Amino acid sequence: MTGADLDLVVRARRAVLPDGERACSVGVRDGRIAVVAAYDDPPVGDVVDLADDEVLLPGLVDAHVHVNEPGRTDWEGFDSATRAAARGGVTTLVDMPLNSIPPTVDVPALQAKRAAATGKVHVDVGFWGGVVPGNLPDLAGLHRAGVFGFKCFTAPSGVDEFPHVDARQLEQALAEVARLGSVLLVHAEDPEVLEASAQLPPGTSPRDFAGFLATRPASAEDRAVEQVVAASRRTRGRAHVVHLASASAVPVLAAAQSEGLPVTAETCPHYLALDAAQVPEGATEFKCCPPVRDAANRDALWDALRAGTVGCVVSDHSPCPPAMKHRDSGDFTAAWGGIASVQLGLPVVWTAARRRGQALTDVVRWMASAPAERLGLAGRKGSLQVGADADLCAFAPDEQQTVDPSALAHRHPVTPYAGARLCGVVRRTWLRGRPVTGDDPHGELLVGGGAP
């Protein structure tokens, strides 16, 4: 097959394509996939042969990352976050609107965010806008400026500059989102339930994960998800429940989807891999909100993924300086709630998935093609098909690794997976056909469908 004008040809005995796994040759021209040919009949070009134990995957799409720059770059920044993403096979991420200062709740703040990211990103980066009390008039401008959608909290967010919305404001935001043709991402926990559960149970200490877990009960998620579904029903606004941890909310989501409501959900690697009963005393690196729950809940989340009620898996990478984790005292009530895992999401999910009989094609759907579709990037990101960006990942699914925090590229090497034995190693990543080395940040800043 001819094709001397191709910039790169990657041959793989195993590749995850939209129609399944098979051997192929992927030809790249001008940053896009120009041809997908037979393995034994590759196009003419600069050929890279993957090793026999490597599988060619599309670059992953992580639609839930807290980069925190500007304003809290000592927590995480664009350079470090996107280096870590690339090492984990993630070639596209979308940054959350909070924890940076200013939060991305109006166009000037988005401009500040984009300016902070320019020239620093090793993968492609998009941005979510934020919904807070009083900024409803700003949503249209943010939509036109290219955010991929909007994020709100129904309970306190943890940072004062990003307050949560009440039921009326949630519904108003969903109505505006419907008018704009966008989506509202919802951190769904009910503040009344959380307030009623705020005190540690008798006999527990701040170092007990079980005590902390009791302060963030599944009923808080369940009640808030019911409210989101009801608001979507009244407004027909598209709602997406982020980082679903409570499997008991799944029947409500499934019923809403059967009804035809535009309500979707995601979950995270930590909810699929960890078990609350196994969290050591004082191990605050395991704290996130909503929290990791028990093994039965974890199993039910896997069932929801298989059924499609929960459509994708994203990291919710939410780092902070180590001091904010209070690892010296082991106080779960005082520690920042967030797990930094953008570099480890693929091996964490794959390790758990293969134990449950799932295939790499499933993992790619949950972590690449489904989030790309939700972002309006289907056909460009998250799949190995002609016309898509040549975002590629060479993944060795059978190679094992022991997680060494010092090898993590995000700013602070704090992780609940320290010392964990995982299956799968990302060996190489290409962004639009160019290797991501960490020395040459050539990522682009993406705009959503509302931009002209």
| 428 domain-assigned | no
The pLDDT value recorded for residue 449 is 84
124-127 and 90-95 as β-strands: parallel, antiparallel, unpaired? parallel
Size of the chain in residues = 452
| 369 domain-assigned | yes
Q: Are 136 and 45 found together in one domain?
A: no
Structural Rg of the chain based on CA atoms: 21
DSSP state of 276: G
Q: Which residues of the chain have pLDDT under 50?
A: 1-3
Phi, psi angles (nearest 5°) of residue 159: -130, 135
The domain that holds 159 is classified in CATH as 3.20.20.140
Single pTM value for the model: 0.97
- Name the amino acid, one letter, at 426: V
The pLDDT value recorded for residue 1 is 45
The pLDDT value recorded for residue 4 is 58
| 213 domain-assigned | yes
The pLDDT value recorded for residue 379 is 95
Reported as a single tens digit per residue, the pLDDT across 249-259 is 999 999 999 99
Q: Are 222 and 285 found together in one domain?
A: yes
Q: Are 263 and 409 found together in one domain?
A: yes
| 443 domain-assigned | no
Task: Please answer whether residues 92 and 406 qualify as being in contact, where contact means their C-beta atoms are separated by less than 8 angstroms.
Answer: no
The pLDDT value recorded for residue 451 is 78
Q: Are 140 and 176 found together in one domain?
A: yes
| 388 domain-assigned | no
Q: Are 133 and 246 found together in one domain?
A: yes
Task: Please answer whether residues 66 and 319 qualify as being in contact, where contact means their C-beta atoms are separated by less than 8 angstroms.
Answer: yes
Reported as a single tens digit per residue, the pLDDT across 397-440 is 999 999 999 999 999 989 999 999 999 999 999 999 999 999 99
What range does the domain containing 27 cover? 8-49
Task: Please answer whether residues 129 and 142 qualify as being in contact, where contact means their C-beta atoms are separated by less than 8 angstroms.
Answer: yes
Number of domains in the chain: 2
| 352 domain-assigned | yes
